[in-house]
Structure 1
Amino acid sequence: MGLSLQAQLCVVVFGIFLSSFIHLHEFRKLDGFEFPVYSTEYCPRNETEWEERSTAINCSDKNGYVCLPNKNITELLEFCYTIPFIWIEEGICLYLNKRPSIVLSYNCSQFQFGCPNATHKSFDLFENPECTTIKNGCFLAEPSCYSSPKPKV
């Protein structure tokens, strides 16, 4: 019986460790920004996820939640911005610059699909997932994102 109880205890401790690790990974705070910025695997895909993530990193009515790629389009970042929301123009995606820590625009008119065709607010970003779907330094909706890699010499 002792071994069974010990095994059960190990499973519980491992489960607590694993859930803590997953939580830390999801909200890994990054250095070098002028406000708290966290790395994330994906941006919210709907309003419920948006609200949950906003609450998890303590955003408020004065500093709204935003999830965007970094300047190099290599990592997704989530943060509470300095204002409640951002107006985003038609044909524009956004990214977060590090120094200074400001949101800048990226012209997405060359996207094959999914470039926003109307002005919208940043809290509706989940309705334009192509602006946060990235891989290897590009937006997946860009034709150049699918070009074959250069051969190694």
Structure 2
Amino acid sequence: MLALFQRRFLMEPISKGMECPLNKTQWKQRSLEFGCQNVDVYHCVLLEDKTDVKEICVERSLLTKGKCPVLTYKGYRHWMDCNIPGCPDTFYESNETYKYPVCLKKTNAPESHSYYSKRLSVGLGVGITLFLLLLVAFIWLYIIFRRRKRNADLLGRKDVHTYN
């Protein structure tokens, strides 16, 4: 059963603003429009980070209760535990996810929860901190240099006046 779920897909989400069909009629209509062929059937699956959904054509498979299908970051179908009201409470086929809208619900904001956004935030924070530290160090060294030069100039002038 796991072998069926290990096919890889392109990670382009469906058009912005579109959602997965949430009833059998809508699901069948979208399936006709999507044009899956042979043993592959229409699926609309939540991405692993819960930020978007993707429509794919793939063989159906049997899912266990308490599990929702997702696409991983690398493009593989997988299952995710579901333990909130509305989760699958029985075995079901992967192309019947519309029966469990909670499995299609986008819950995470891409800006704050995605792996790449977090890495960018940390990297940007470190970069800004290093820049500010370097700026403070440069200003401090500049002030010290100016004071020493001014003191050297003052000492040089005193020496000139004492010899005359």
| TM-score, with length taken from structure 1 | 0.58
Unaligned runs of 5+ in 2: 1-7, 111-164
Q: Computing the radius of gyration over CA atoms, which structure comes out larger, 1 or 2?
A: 2
Residue of structure 1 in register with 2:100 after alignment:
128
Match of 2:66 among 84, 91, 103: 91
User: 2:13·2:52 contact (CA, 8 Å) conserved in 1?
Assistant: no
More helix by share: 2
Distance in 2, Cα, partners of 1:98 & 1:105: 13
Residue type at the aligned position of 1:94: P
Distance in 1, Cα, partners of 2:13 & 2:38: 19
RMSD (CA atoms): 2.2
The answer to whether structure 1 residue 58 and structure 2 residue 30 are counterparts is: no
3-state SS in 2 of match to 1:39 = coil
The answer to whether structure 1 residue 107 and structure 2 residue 84 are counterparts is: no
Q: Measured at CA, do residues 66 and 120 of structure 1 come closer, stay the same or move farther in structure 2, by a change above 3 Å? A: same
Distance apart, 1:135 and its partner CA: 2.6
Unaligned runs of 5+ in 1: 1-32, 139-153
More strand by share: 1
Figure out how many residues of one structure are paired with residues of the other and give that number: 101
Distance in 2, Cα, partners of 1:58 & 1:88: 23
User: 2:88·2:100 contact (CA, 8 Å) conserved in 1?
Assistant: yes
Question: Percent same amino acid among aligned pairs?
Answer: 24
Match of 1:116 among 85, 88, 92: 88
